[in-house]
Amino acid sequence: MEQLIEGARALQIRLTPEHLEALRIYQHMLVEFNQHFNLTAITDDEGIQIRHFLDSLSCFQALESGERFSGKAVIDVGTGAGFPGLPLKLLCPGMKLTLLEATAKKVSFLEQVTARLGLTDVTITHGRAEELGQQPEHREHYDWAIARAVADMPILAEYLLPLVKVGGRVLAQKGEGAPAEVQRSEWAIQQLGGRVRRLVPVELRGLAETRYLVILDKVAATPPQYPRRPGMPNKRPLMPKVA
């Protein structure tokens, strides 16, 4: 796992032997489970370690001086096989993590891997963001809502912002097109009670392309009509009306 260790070091993250052992178990379970159910198209050791583990750990770059995920309520929306939430939890056990996933087979994997890793304070929820965003126990409950490779920014904003309390933040992991995505989603973000805080470019060792962390502040309560019913944000993304 040398490339992962060196890549983490470049992000100023130190991986302990305990972290590495947990990540080895995670990797083994991911590959084994993937032989029966389609969890990920990335199954080689280097791909898993860089494109899944290291990419997930890059979320720590969103934290500003003195900030911590520890003690915070974090929801990972559309987590799939647990990215980025579970690698973050492994390094930050004090995080109160909710993993939201709509596919039952992926939920089963998440339950098995969290049990095998002995993780506590992890809630695995089978459902959709549009549904949770209208449920009182989840609406405007979280300090952070995070997502990786889930949807275009105008859609993703409607998934995530209703889940975050005023004063909380959204973290979206995006590719090279992030600046353009954010620019065309600013109206939707504002309508949902958010404001663009900053974009953080991330260079990962082993990857040629630049990644971005898009960070939004929740500055006002989300209007009660959002999120709309399942499928609507994707079908009709929030966009300003053209006169």
For residue 241, tell me if it sits in a domain: no
For residue 56, tell me if it sits in a domain: yes
For residue 12, tell me if it sits in a domain: yes
- For 58-94, write each residue's pLDDT tens digit: 999 999 988 999 999 999 999 999 999 999 999 999 9
How far is residue 149's CA from residue 103's CA, in Å, rounded to a whole number? 15
Categorize the per-residue pLDDT at 48 as very low, low, confident or very high, splitting at 50, 70 and 90. very high
- For 106-149, write each residue's pLDDT tens digit: 999 999 999 999 999 999 999 999 999 999 999 999 999 999 97
**Which residues on adjacent β-strands are paired with residue 99?**
76, 124
Could you tell me which residues come within 8 angstroms of residue 106 by beta carbon, excluding any fewer than 6 positions away?
37, 39, 79, 80, 81
Could you tell me which residues come within 8 angstroms of residue 119 by beta carbon, excluding any fewer than 6 positions away?
86, 89, 90, 93
End-to-end alpha carbon distance in the chain:
56
- For 167-195, write each residue's pLDDT tens digit: 999 999 999 999 999 999 999 999 999 99
Categorize the per-residue pLDDT at 47 as very low, low, confident or very high, splitting at 50, 70 and 90. confident
Domain that holds residue 83: 2-235
- Name the nearest CA neighbour of 15 among 51, 64, 49, 62: 49
Residue 216 has pLDDT above 70, yes or no: yes
C-beta of residue 163 within 8 angstroms of C-beta of residue 129? yes
Q: pLDDT exceeding 70 applies to what percent of the chain?
A: 99
For residue 243, tell me if it sits in a domain: no
How far is residue 133's CA from residue 141's CA, in Å, rounded to a whole number? 9
- For 2-44, write each residue's pLDDT tens digit: 899 999 999 999 999 999 999 999 999 999 999 888 888 887 8
* Domain containing residue 226: CATH number: 3.40.50.150
How far is residue 57's CA from residue 54's CA, in Å, rounded to a whole number? 5
pTM of the model: 0.96
For residue 240, tell me if it sits in a domain: no
For residue 242, tell me if it sits in a domain: no
Structural domain count, the chain: 1
The average confidence (pLDDT) of the chain is 95
pLDDT of residue 243: 58
pLDDT of residue 155: 95
